[in-house]
Structures are given as C-alpha cells and as structure tokens.
Amino acid sequence: MRNVLKFVRRDMVKNQLQVWLVLLLIAATSFIFFFIKYASDGINTEYERFAETQQQEHFAFRPNLAVFINGDTQQQIISGSSIPSRELEQLGFENLLQTYNLKLPDEEHQALSRLSGEYQFHYDEVKYKEIKEQGVLYRWIGDTGKRTVNQIYLAEGRLPASSGEIAITSNAVGMQTLQVGDELTIRGHSYEIVGRFILPDQIRQNTADGERPLYVLANPEQYALIDDIEAHYYSGRFQNGTYSGDVVRKMTEDARFAFFLPVQDNPEATELIKGIASNAGMSMIFLITLTLLCTGVFLIFLNRRLRLQQKAWGCLIAMGYPRALLINVYVINNVLLCVIGVILGLAAAYFSADLLIQQFQSQYVLPAFPKELGVNSLLMGVLVIVICFNAAAYWMLHRFMNNDTVTMLLARQKNEHVNFLTRWVSRLTVGLPFIQRVKLQMSARSIKMIVLLGITVCLSSILFILGISLNQSSSNAVEHRFKGVHYKYDIQYSEARLAQHNEDRNDYYLQKDKRLSWDGSSGIREGAKVNVLAFDGDSKWLTLVDENGKEINSKLKEGAIVHSSKAQLFGLQAGTSVQVLIGDKEVKIPIAAFCSNGDPAAFYIDKAQLTNALGISPDIYNGTFTNSPDPDPQQSGRYTMSSAESMRKEMTEQASSSQLSAVLNQILGCVIAVIMIWLITLITVEENKKNMAVLHMIGYTQREIGSMLLNVYTVIVVISYIVFTPLALFFVNYILKMVSVSTNDFIPLIYNVFTFVLVLAIILIIYYAVLFIARRFYSQPSYAVPIAAPKPPKRVDM
C-alpha cells in the first residue's frame, strides 16, 4: 500500500504543473458556485424568515362594488349622494366611487365576506393619506400596531408616541441621509424622526419623488389631524399561511376584484427573491458545465499519464499488487485533490461574496443580509465535483487496469494515429508554405484537443456575449424607453374626470395592474399583468415606433400596440386576440402592432375604442402628457407627477446593477479562457518535448519554437468561434429570456458585428497572452530531453 502510494504521489510531483492547473480549475468551478450561493442562501433564508414573521401579504386587492351592486341600486346610491345621473353613464360606477370618495361600508363588508369565505383568506384594511410637497409624495399611515398582515418591522429607533414624532420607511433612497433624531419638515410642521421601519411589501429601494411615496408612520392622534382625503385598499393572506398559485390564478380572472395584485407580481416585494432565484439557477448551470469541462480535461491528462506509465503499472500488478488496490489508491489521491480544490474555492468565495451582498444591499432593505451557505448547497457543490471527477477517474482506471499484464509490460509507445482530419487538411494545404502546412496539420492531428478548444471558445463566448448584452441592454433600455417621448411631464390623477380640449396637454385614461390574457399555442389560457393606457394617438406628444423606427400610432385604430418585449417573452403575434378585464367588463381586442419604445409595461389602446367597449364617455381621463408641471385646475384630488428627466435618471441608476453582473460575467469568461488555454498549451508542450529539444539543439530560438510547435491552434480558435457562435447565442438568449420571465423585466439579446469582432479579439488576446507566458516554461530543464555529451577518450599512460 505504501509503495503504491509513493508511486502515485511521485507521478503527481513529476507532473505537478498539470496537477496545479487541474486544481486551479476545480477551485475556480467551486468558487463560482459558492460565490453566488453564499449570498443567495443567506439572503433567501432571511427573506423567508422576514416574510413569515411579518406576515407578508399574499395579494393586495379591492372589491369591485360595480359587480356586487346591481344597476338600480347604483342609481339609488348616486341619487342619494346628489350626483347627476349622467355622470354614471359618463364615468362608470367604479370611477364615481373614487372621484367622489363615496363610502359604502355595508356593501363593501358584504363583498369582503363573500370573497374571503369563498377563497379562504383573511385581510386587513390599509388606510393612508397622501401629502405632496416640494416634489416628494408623503404617504401617512397610522395603524401602528393593528396589522395582522404586512406587519411593520422596526429597523431602528422606536415607534412614534406623540404628535410631534414620526418614523420613516427605510427603502427611500433620497431619505437615507436622515437619521434617527433628525427633524423633517412637512407643510410647515417639524417632526422628530424617532425610528425607521420596513414594510414587507416595500423592500426595494426607490427614490422618493412625486410618484414613489415616502411612507411616514405617525401615532393615531397625529394621523387623524392630517387634513387630506383618506384612501384604502386591502392586504390579503390565505388562512393556511401558504401562497396558492392555482387559487391566485382564479382570483386574477374574477371580475369581483376591481384591483388584484398577487405578491409575485409586485416587484417592490418579490424582485429580491426573484433575483436570488435567477442567480441560483445560473450557479447550477455554471457548476454542471464547468465540472463536466474540468472532468474532460482531467481525463485527457490521466489517459496520457497512464499510457506513458503502463510498464510501471504492469510491473506492480506482476509483483502481486491487487488491481483494485491500485485503482483505490489512485482514486483516494484524486479525491484529496478534489477536496483541496473545493476548499480553496470555498474559502475564496466566502471573502468575495461580500461584493454580491453589497449589490443586494444597495437595492433592497431587509433586517439583515447574512452570508450563509445552506447544507444542501454545500453538499451539492462538493458532491457534484467530487463524484463527477472520481467516477470518471474510476471508469478510466478500471478500463486501463483490466488490460493483460504481459501486454502492459511489453507495451511500446505507439506512433500518433493519423486521423481523417489530418489527411483532409494535408490535401487542402498543398499550395501553402511549408511552415504553414506543418502548423495546420499539427493542429488537426488531435480530435480531442480540437473538441476541448471548441468547448473553451464556446463557453467563453457565452460569458462574454452575456456580459456585453447585459451591459448594452441596460443602457439601450433607457434610450428606447424615452425615444418618441415629446412631453416633459406625465401627471396622473387619483380621480377620473371629463376632459376639455386643450392643446397644451394630451389627456389619456389609465387603468393600472390589469390582467391581460390570451389563448396560448398549447390551448391553455395564458396571462400577464399590464397597465392599459388609452389615448388618442397624437404623435406630437408620444410617437410609438416599430423595430425599424417607423411611426405606428395610426395602428391604434386597428387594435392594441404592445411593447416588443411582450412578443419575445410570451410569443405574442400581430393579430392575436387578447382580453383585458376592466371592472366588470372583459374587453377583447386584437394586437395591431409592436412598438420598440415607450413603457414596456403599457398596453396602448385607442381611447375611443376602450371607452366604447366600457360604455363610458370618450372624454374620460385620469392622466395627461404635458410640458407644464402645473396640474389641471379642474382636478381637485391627489395626483402624481413624473418628469421625463427624473425617470431617465432613475432608470440609468438602476442599470448599474446589470452592468455589475456584466462585469462579473466578463471576468469569469477571462478566467475560464486563461485556465483552459493554459491547459491546452500544457498538453501541446507535453506532446512535443522531443521536438522542442531537437529544434533547440539545432539553433532555433524560443520564439521560433513557440511559433512552430505551440502557436498551431490560431486557425482552430477562429473556426471554433465562428462555428460555435450560433450555439452561444442560443444559450445566451435562453438565459436572458429565463431571467426576464423570472424578474418581469425584459432583457434583450444585444448582438451585432461589433460584438462578434470584439469577442473574437478578446479570445485571441487571451490565447496569445497565455502562449507568451507559456514559452518561459518549455525552456526549463524539465522540458528538455537529456542528451548525453560524448565522453573524452580515457588517457592511457604507456
């Protein structure tokens, strides 16, 4: 046992450069997997604990009283509230409830009782008042300790106890400079900030402005003093505490809900967990792909070393050592090598995971962002690498050890087999110079090297293209979003009114978070959440264009215009009939065209067609495009105003996270390319030791030897890149599509001639850089063939 162990370890020391490079590749594989897992496991555990402890809502909703209350009763309610009957026909019952802030507690209670009993959920009423001052929307809440759903988490300080105290939410980026103990002045009143809190449905950090509110928590007495209209909605949670996707799908199509937002569709609450799930999926792809690649490289080295030492192995077998013992000793050493590599990658990932955690911290708020590795993740990372490597090694050793002992003892090093590719290349290169012919023939003589190099180029291309696409798409998204936008301000009102013609603005009618459904190719009804924006198509304010930049506003008369991202994500096509549930009406309309600009979440439709389908006045509006920051004087209710400049700035800031992911992918691509090309170069050096020594003896320099014997795969690199680029694009497109679906944020594949040339240039630069460094190694004594110098004749004294 000891002698066999010494033999195996002596072999590893003799080939220590190979061992170190394989060890580095194992460490890199485990590092990539554990780097992501250290962050995702810890944050995922903290998020689940936080969501369960604070009873995060499963959905937000409002009952649709227009469905529960029949037409005659609606007329009675309108008459009793001194509202002209014509407004019911012009605005619709649901809009009148909001416009005139009608309170129907009995009817609403009956509706809630029926819905909660049928779908088995409990709920809380969420009341709030809003104040807008100096471009910031303050949303006041006063239910400090009454919530059973979306319970407030106190992150710092304490809850307000008196009228002069408030607490503010922690997810407002613009308010991060405000500390506990500071004062905040709102409408001339100064309030002391005594705490910061986190709402379970608002964990994504946003810049507090006229559209995204800053939540302010006050005690009930102070809340009652806020002289503004109170609004409300409901937070629901299933009674068994488990989110039920099947039940939620039924609820989304139930017309008895005027507004229904599942937590899975609320990016403010679940974008974090979707990002973690996306990263976890990417980590598994990298783990499996790189492990298979490492195993293939290891088998190439192992096969060569076994062939060179088959006489020694045959001798050990002839001496009486059991074949099983020889296999087990080698596998034990290989297991040790794997464990060392995994530990190195695990340690490097532990310290590097802070970068990924900091990225999440800059975008979301949670009580903590722990660095944690789950037992399942640890076992997965270790076992996949160890089992894959050693199963492959055991298979090759078992096959090798089953050879006849005499055959192994009498084995001679066979000449390299001339494969069909070498013969084919030899015929095609007849007219080339001698050196070029030799280099091309050498590059074609080893099929396994060509395959290995092709896999390396393909994997590196995937990572480089993915990184470049993420970087460019995050920038292009901003430009496409605002292309064709000719207004400076977008003002949305809480109340629906009838518009009066005004050339200084363009009014529209907006219905947020509506369910878009259609019959999929599989026959199953599919759906997505959209914001229905109905306007008259005036291109002076908003010009919708197709992929070729052609204006398509006129298409609104033929049907809806949808963002091209919906076509790519969901497979929608022009002419497809879709249904949108608005109030108690299901509006059916065909898709007329796809736009490349505008809001990806918007479903653009002609206002006259929508209002006609809903049976309300075509002059209804609750939003306007304008160049003036002043709201419409006839709108007396609340409003939110967003400037095109502020929206562009926010989207630019959000693009930084995608650009960080792009940089990580590009670094990873470089690391894999360097390691793999170095391994391929090492194999080439091992196969050409004698040739190098001979060329060195006859006077060739290192540069010349490297050019003739090492730099033989340039053509293979270029051809591999061209051949595998379509495959790389397929994988990148698939990855981006999966990420887009999971995050509800479309990330297109950006690829053009510039990207093609850039990725090829990066791979070639890495290839030549590795070759330049490798030349230093084949000049060392270990790479030289010892040739004994002739001894001088022995002098004989006479």
Helix (H) or strand (E) holding 421: helix 420-428
In total, the chain counts a number of residues equal to 798
Phi, psi of 754 (to 5 degrees): -60, -45
State the DSSP code for 364: B
Most confident of 266-280, 432-446, 546-560: 546-560
Residue 143 has pLDDT above 60, yes or no: yes
More confident residue, 513 or 373: 373
Residue indicated by tokens 């009014």:
507
Instruction: From 277, 273, 269, 271, select the one nearest 150 (Cα to Cα).
Output: 269
232 touches 135 (CB < 8 A): no
pLDDT in tens, 765-778: 888 888 777 766 55
Provide the residue type at 212 as one letter: R
Q: Using the predicted structure, report yes or no on whether residue 518 has a pLDDT greater than 50.
A: yes
Residue 77 has pLDDT above 70, yes or no: yes
Distance (Å, whole) CA 205 – CA 740: 20
423 pLDDT tier (thresholds 50, 70, 90): low
CB 528 within 8 A of CB 667: no
Helical residues (DSSP H) of 429-446, grouped into ranges: 434-444
Say if residue 416's pLDDT is above 60. no
List the structure tokens of 575. 């002419």
Do the bridges between strand 230-238 and strand 577-582 make them parallel or antiparallel, or are there none, so unpaired? unpaired
Q: Return d(Cα 431, Cα 433) in angstroms, integer.
A: 7
Residue 513, φ and ψ in degrees, nearest 5? 55, 50
Residue bearing the bigger pLDDT, 104 or 22: 104
The answer to whether the CB of 458 falls within 8 A of the CB of 724 is yes
Dig out the tokens for 41 from the structure: 């496991």
Q: Mean per-residue pLDDT for 195-209?
A: 86
End-to-end Cα distance, the chain: 57
What is the pTM assigned to this prediction? 0.75
If you compute the radius of gyration of the chain from its CA atoms, what whole number of angstroms results?
35
